[in-house]
């Protein structure tokens, strides 16, 4: 059921917005689709057999693109939409948006920072506990009936283990605060040392990995951080070490990671992201020292709703000539 | 006709007898450590074909100390076979399977595992909570069975920040749980036998009151006459259909039959259970539910816990045999 806005001075803006063409790049959240549909003329890219067919039909009428971590706004799409004014991504990550091209053309970009920080940090801790305490393996053990024949055995203690965080931004800091409550000593690496931070700083991921048991990737994906976790870092982590990735699959050299795990050169891994989602390193499926999640870092009802509200609010602000709430450029 | 019980130790050996009371399937991980200091009587290995009561009658008449391993019951019947017993060292924190009344009447001291497991159990309680809310184990299964490729995105979970978490039992484990949950942004409250003035969170005088104000209940208390089935139909009703129960205490704290019904009818949001009323049996209805995470009473089982437990056990036995004070006394002589 559509919600009718109250008849006041804002209703003119509201009605005007109904004609604005907004392109959603892929299915991401039904609530977001509904909210966009109520306010704008929503086009769904996946309703068309190909991007080209969509562009032939509607390129000229699109003034906003709503993308996410699967399908964003690359240079080709941006160039094909002459009326494009704003890209509002349903994510905090910007790696699927050609920021350079947007900047050149004066196209605004917004994302959804802060609202998902807690959820991603929570998943990082869940993965740490999951890998060390073999929570998923224990659950499977009971479900299979094996408990009737014997005990599961000991699992690795989590409290007090040293945690190294790659990237001490919002998410990295939130992970640090949580791990501290378990008595975990915290260290980090970052583009530069952060003042007013009591955690130990290391200048490179490899140095960090040499000095911690659990390494968490929580930084943004940029040219510099692509494959920041490769053979050297994995070797430094070693057979007792655990890798947790809540960043992007591209942060990690996945073939090296798989080899290290299969050969026992790495102790374990908790992954929420992969190089080629939704493919998820199938070779790891039989292993009990890994936890594999389908990119659910921010996937809670509450956060998805808050992210959707932020996307809509940014678009409304833009078309009403008001300041954007969470602009990137 | 009863024969004179054989002494367990050679006279003057200085290595007193310690009886290990355990289920055959439950090896004592620090058995070697015990053997370094004591003469260990272990019916399961010393005389596996002999009924336990016959062994005890024959060999343990002079035994003064017993190590009670894991979940094995220690009822009055067994205690009466040990006329010289003065000390029971339990390897668990929960001693609900030991006949404490019989021990009290006989003046037998009972010690437990104290705080050795508290951190690990608290860690697991948080792990279960995160798993239930964020559906970690079911999502991991979803990936491994190929469903992410075939069926696309996984259904949404629930945020932890802002949830009202009620801790039932604010002993060592409960306090550790509260400390760990604090940075996650939960609103923490508790019920315990008595209010803890140094604890900064709201106290509720009854578990029912606590449940009325909670989205999540985490059970960390001991099982006693008073706490048996403390989580009953009334409590589950007020938790409502988003409510989540995490149990790292004892299975008997929850009316398990009711719990299964509430979960099957969708009247409870989910459960994370490390303990059950009749281990290792788990209600089969739970095995088919996606909003439930199960574990085989393993919250305490880490190498560090067992090392600490071994040290505590040996230390308490040594203290006993040299008339020193005992630690982790559940009830004295």
Which residue among B148, B157, B302 places its CB closest to the CB of A299? Answer: B157
Give all strands (DSSP E) within A173-324, no chain letters.
Answer: 186-189, 200-202, 214-217, 242-245, 268-271, 290-292
Region A168-188: what's the mean pLDDT? 98
Is B184 within 8 Å of A122 when comparing Cβ atoms?
A: yes
| Mean pLDDT, chain A, integer | 94
Strand order across the beta sheet in which B87-90 lies: B39-41, B17-21, B65-68, B87-90, B109-111, B329-331
Within B183-325, residue ranges assigned H as helices are 207-212, 233-239, 256-264, 284-287, 303-321
Region A161-181: what's the mean pLDDT? 97
> What residues of chain B score a pLDDT lower than 50?
1-12
| B70 against A215, higher pLDDT | A215
Class of residue A112 by CB neighbours under 10 A (exposed 0-12, middle 13-18, buried 19+): buried
Is A155 within 8 Å of B298 when comparing Cβ atoms?
A: yes
Per-residue pLDDT of A251-269, as tens digits, reads 999 999 999 999 999 999 9
B285 part of the active site: no
pLDDT computed for residue B13 by the predictor: 57
Q: Name, in order, each residue with C-beta under 8 angstroms of A236's C-beta and a sequence gap of 6 or more.
A: A206, A207, A209, A210
Is A118 within 8 Å of B141 when comparing Cβ atoms?
A: no
Minimal-distance CA residue of chain B relative to A116: B159
Q: Is the pLDDT of residue A2 over 80?
A: no
Q: With H, G, I as helix, E, B as strand and everything else as coil, classify residue B233.
A: helix
Contact B191, B168 (CB under 8 A): yes
d(CA B129, CA A184) in angstroms, rounded, equals 20
Q: What confidence tier does A150 reach under pLDDT thresholds 50, 70, 90?
A: confident
Per-residue pLDDT of B274-284, as tens digits, reads 999 999 999 99
Cβ pairs bridging A and B (under 8 Å): 170
Is A291 within 8 Å of B136 when comparing Cβ atoms?
A: yes
Strands B109-111 and B329-331: antiparallel
Contact B168, B217 (CB under 8 A): yes
A248 part of the active site: yes
Percent of chain A with pLDDT over 90: 92
Strand order across the beta sheet in which A86-89 lies: A41-44, A21-24, A62-67, A86-89, A108-110
Is A292 within 8 Å of B25 when comparing Cβ atoms?
A: no
d(CA B211, CA B205) in angstroms, rounded, equals 11
Q: Which member of B250, B256, B258, B277 is catalytic?
A: B250
Q: Name, in order, each residue with C-beta under 8 angstroms of A183's C-beta and a sequence gap of 6 or more.
A: A159, A160, B119
Q: Is the pLDDT of residue A214 over 60?
A: yes
Contact B245, B259 (CB under 8 A): yes
User: What are the chain A neighbours of B144 within 8 Å (beta carbons)?
Assistant: 285, 292
User: What are the chain A neighbours of B301 within 8 Å (beta carbons)?
Assistant: 151-155
Is B123 within 8 Å of A135 when comparing Cβ atoms?
A: no
Q: How many CB atoms lie within 10 A of CB B1?
A: 2
Q: Is the pLDDT of residue A142 over 80?
A: yes
Region A5-31: what's the mean pLDDT? 75
Per-residue pLDDT of A38-78, as tens digits, reads 999 999 999 999 999 999 999 999 999 999 989 999 999 99
Which residue among A135, A158, A181 places its CB closest to the CB of B137? Answer: A135
- Start-to-end CA distance of chain A, whole Å, equals 35
Per-residue pLDDT of B52-100, as tens digits, reads 889 998 999 999 999 999 879 999 999 999 999 999 999 998 898 999 9
Q: With H, G, I as helix, E, B as strand and everything else as coil, classify residue B122.
A: helix
Region A269-281: what's the mean pLDDT? 96
Q: Is the pLDDT of residue A3 over 90?
A: no
pLDDT computed for residue B70 by the predictor: 80
A282 part of the active site: no
Q: Is some CB atom of chain B closer than 8 A to the CB atom of A291?
A: yes
């Amino acid at each position: 059921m559509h919600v009718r806005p109250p008849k006041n001075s804002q209703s003119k803006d509201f009605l005007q917005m109904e004609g604005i063409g907004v392109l959603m790049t892929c299915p991401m959240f039904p609530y977001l689709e509904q909210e966009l549909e109520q306010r704008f003329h929503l086009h769904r890219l996946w309703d068309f057999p190909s991007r080209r067919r969509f562009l032939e039909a509607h390129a000229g009428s699109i003034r906003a693109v709503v993308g996410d971590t699967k399908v964003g706004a690359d240079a080709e799409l941006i160039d094909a939409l002459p009326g494009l004014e704003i890209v509002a991504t349903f994510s905090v990550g910007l790696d699927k948006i050609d920021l350079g091209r947007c900047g050149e053309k004066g196209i605004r970009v917004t994302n959804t920072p802060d609202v998902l920080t807690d959820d991603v940090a929570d998943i990082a801790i869940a993965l740490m506990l999951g890998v060390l305490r073999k929570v998923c393996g224990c659950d499977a053990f009971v479900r299979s009936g094996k408990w009737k024949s014997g005990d599961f055995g000991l699992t690795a203690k989590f409290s007090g283990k040293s945690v190294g965080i790659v990237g001490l931004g919002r998410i990295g800091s939130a992970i640090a605060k949580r791990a501290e409550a378990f008595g975990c000593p915290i260290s980090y690496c970052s583009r530069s040392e952060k003042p007013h931070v009591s955690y130990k700083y290391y200048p490179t991921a490899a140095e960090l990995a040499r000095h911690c048991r659990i390494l968490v990737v929580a930084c943004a994906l940029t040219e510099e951080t692509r494959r920041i976790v490769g053979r050297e870092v994995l070797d430094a982590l070693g057979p007792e070490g655990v890798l947790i990735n809540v960043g992007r699959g591209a942060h990690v050299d996945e073939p090296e990671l798989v080899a290290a795990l299969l050969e026992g050169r790495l102790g374990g891994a908790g992954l929420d992201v992969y190089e080629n989602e939704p493919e998820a390193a199938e070779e790891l499926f039989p292993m009990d020292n890994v936890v594999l999640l389908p990119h659910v870092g921010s996937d809670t009802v509450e956060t998805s709703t808050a992210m959707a509200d932020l996307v809509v609010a940014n678009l409304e602000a833009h078309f009403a000539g008001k300041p954007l709430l969470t602009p990137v450029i | 006709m009863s024969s004179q019980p054989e002494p367990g130790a050679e006279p003057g050996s200085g290595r007193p007898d310690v009886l290990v009371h355990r289920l055959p399937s439950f090896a004592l991980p620090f058995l070697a450590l015990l053997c370094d200091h004591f003469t260990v009587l272990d019916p399961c290995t010393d005389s596996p074909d002999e009924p336990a009561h016959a062994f005890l009658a024959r060999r343990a008449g002079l035994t003064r100390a017993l190590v009670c391993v894991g979940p094995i019951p220690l009822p009055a019947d067994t205690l009466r076979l040990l006329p010289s017993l003065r000390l029971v060292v339990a390897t668990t924190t929960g001693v609900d399977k030991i006949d404490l009344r019989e021990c009290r009447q006989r003046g037998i001291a009972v010690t437990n595992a104290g705080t050795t497991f508290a951190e690990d159990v608290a860690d697991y309680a948080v792990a279960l909570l995160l798993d239930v809310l964020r559906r970690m184990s079911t999502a991991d299964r979803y990936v491994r069975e190929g469903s992410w490729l075939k069926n696309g995105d996984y259904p949404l979970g629930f945020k932890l920040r802002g949830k009202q978490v009620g801790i039932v039992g604010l002993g060592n484990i409960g306090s550790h749980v509260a400390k760990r949950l604090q940075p996650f942004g939960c609103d923490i409250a508790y019920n315990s036998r008595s209010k803890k003035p140094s604890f900064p969170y709201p106290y509720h005088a009854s578990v029912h009151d606590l449940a009325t104000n909670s989205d999540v209940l985490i059970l960390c208390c001991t099982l006693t006459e008073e706490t048996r089935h403390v989580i009953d139909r009334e409590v589950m009703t007020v938790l409502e259909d988003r409510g989540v129960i995490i149990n790292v205490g004892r299975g008997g704290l929850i009316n398990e039959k009711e719990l299964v019904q509430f979960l099957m009818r969708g009247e409870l949001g989910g459960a994370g259970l490390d303990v059950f009323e009749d281990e290792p049996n788990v209600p089969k209805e739970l095995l088919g539910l996606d909003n439930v995470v199960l574990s085989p009473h393993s919250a305490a089982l880490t190498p560090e816990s067992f090392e600490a437990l071994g040290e505590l056990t040996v230390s308490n036995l040594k203290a006993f045999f040299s008339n020193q004070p005992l630690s982790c006394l559940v009830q004295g002589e």
